[in-house]
Structure 1
């Protein structure tokens, strides 16, 4: 039986969505079935054997759609393996060291017994929505700090853990 994984995400300008797509692609490469969906559109997680939930970080908080997804599906999420990711640092910090989850994401992970969390670098480029995003760009602090090789390595670890669960049953 092939494990089926949902990769849900909260993203305003598409950067986190692109990371979610890369996670799903890496899971597929490892032999799993993986679907991606904006967190706000998911109505049911029960068809999936595992879930990866990601959200962009904005002013130290996870994207509202990721937060709402975690609350709305908390019972189902507590019954299956769950991994979390954040995206957002607009610098090289996520590539240089492990960036711990912000407090709200840490609490979500603790409540739902998430198996892991990782923070990936973010991306903010010209044309981004939002007043704060435009201010950051005007201040010269934008750019693309995503490390897709790191995303693939992390997702491969998720796949190995899920596959190990299947063998242990």
Structure 2
């Protein structure tokens, strides 16, 4: 069974961690299908029917993106708003096309994990800040899993540090 990895990064060629993760995923085409939203929709005009058909094909879906401004990139929010429609994702007897599908987030974070503690810089844990995703995917009856997070990109983005992120990410995906 392949896992659909939906990559939402506005500048993947200029990225560090997300780009490296995609490079690693490409080594395993028998296990992962990579779908890059910004590459598919550079104008932001999402083909809703196409996205729904794609998602329906997979039982495991991972949304991979950088976390900034305490949220996801704008195209992910737009995707959620447009693709998770009434009658398809929820709200009718024929809806709930995501029901039972394993959904997870794979997130790169600029600051250190200690900044996302009640006593840290931002006063909230990342789990608390990600609660809208948990609620949204729960609402459509998906099996939402705890996210994979890799912290400290702004502070530690050496080649060695980036490489250290790869195996934990792959282990996370293999454990879904």
TM-score band (shorter)? 0.5 to 0.7
Structure 2: segments with no counterpart, 5+ residues: 41-46, 90-96, 116-124
Relative to total residues, which structure has the larger strand share, 1 or 2?
1
| Equivalent-residue separation in structure 2 for 1:89 and 1:110 (angstroms) | 27
Equivalent in the alignment of 2:151: 121
Say if 1:22 and 1:152, in contact at 8 Å, map to a contact too.
Answer: no
Aligned residue in 2 for 1:166: none
Q: Contact conserved, 1:9 with 1:66, CA < 8 A, in 2? A: no
Per the TM alignment, residue 35 of structure 1 is displaced from its structure 2 partner at its CA by 1.2
Q: Using the TM superposition, give the Cα deviation of residue 118 of structure 1 relative to its aligned residue in structure 2, in angstroms.
A: 2.0
Does the 8 Å contact 1:8/1:20 carry over to 2?
A: no
Task: Return the alpha-carbon distance in structure 2 between the equivalents of residues 63 and 4 of structure 1.
Answer: 25
Give the secondary structure class of the aligned counterpart of 2:132: helix
Check the 8 A contact 1:7/1:34 in 2, yes or no: yes
The CA distance in 2 between the partners of 1:99 and 1:80, in whole Å, is 23
Please report how far the alpha carbon of residue 92 of structure 1 lies from its aligned counterpart in structure 2 after TM superposition: 5.9
Matches within 5 A, 1:65-104: 65-74=75-84, 75=89, 76-78=97-99, 80-91=101-112, 99-100=126-127, 102=129, 103-104=131-132
| 1:19 and 1:148 in contact (8 A); partners too | yes
